Amino acid sequence: MALYALGDLHLSYQSKIKSVAQRESALWQGHEERFLENCRAMVTDADTLLLLGDHSWGNKLPYCRKDLEYIESLPGRKILLRGNHDHFWDVKKTEQLNRMYEGRLHFLQNNYFLYKDYALVGTKGYCFEGPFYMSPGGQIVGYDEEAYAHAQALVEREAGRLQKSFDAAVRDGHRRFIMLLHYPPTSLMERDSIFTKMAEQYHVEQVIYAHCHGEARFHDSIRGRKKGILYSLASGDCLRWKPLKVLS
């Protein structure tokens, strides 16, 4: 039994929408087949696979059913986190999705799931991504204050959702946590955030996130150990479509 993670599949079996990288980068060509092959080589049906958001380009459930069928075909127990492009997934309908896909897929939002004695908690998260004002040397010297204020409101909303996940796990007596986010836990301007503080408050052992694409963005946030917590980036292109082994 093992725990694996990867995010940002950006499946498009029923959609013509693709990112620029999906259209132009060799790393993204046939990524669905490569990920499936890697999962079959690494993940067993006794394992758990965490999928950290941006599952499908379909904007409504009928337009991403084939994408979800692909995810169903992957080995192991699949736990899905909501990403910023997962427009098919209304937060308020998470329970409905869990009923609809009962025994096949598990949707993590305002709830938690277990892996051994760990509570898997999480939410999409959010962080400010600009616009930034840069110096000629490439340093951030300012930012759009209106956009920043809007971003902070979204950060607070997501922190509230993460709190519900922690509360549910604590209420059931769990004390060991792995925290999942889609967005990185900090922005380019931050060393700490409300998400890192929550991780510290609950003595989380690992924080795993996705969202950061391309070599230039792989170090946008925390990677490695900080204050005893292991932070890992698990975006698909960063991992070259090989799921990250989180725990044995």
Neighbours of 201 (CB within 10 A): 9
Neighbours of 92 (CB within 10 A): 9
Query: Containing H/E element for 156?
Result: helix 145-171
Can you point out the beta strands (E) in the chain?
A: 3-6, 48-51, 77-81, 105-108, 113-115, 118-123, 132-134, 140-143, 177-181, 206-209, 224-226, 229-233, 244-247
Measured in degrees and rounded to the nearest 5, phi and psi for residue 211 equal 80, -30
**Please, are residues 115 and 106 in contact by the beta-carbon 8 Å criterion?**
no
Q: Return per-residue pLDDT of the chain as tens, 248 residues.
A: 999 999 999 999 998 767 767 776 788 999 999 999 999 999 999 999 999 999 999 999 999 999 999 999 999 999 999 999 999 999 999 999 999 999 999 999 999 999 999 999 999 999 998 888 888 888 888 889 999 999 999 999 999 999 999 999 999 999 999 999 999 999 988 999 999 999 999 999 999 999 999 888 999 999 999 999 999 999 999 999 999 999 99
Between the two ends of the chain, the Cα-to-Cα distance in Å is: 6
Mark residue 48 as left, alpha or beta (left: phi above 0; alpha: psi -120 to 50; beta: remaining): beta
Domains of the chain: 3-247 (3.60.21)
For residue 193, give Cα distances in angstroms to 152, 211, 223.
11, 17, 14
pLDDT of residue 64: 96
pLDDT of residue 24: 66
**Please, are residues 125 and 190 in contact by the beta-carbon 8 Å criterion?**
no
In the chain, count H helices and then E strands. Answer: 6, 13
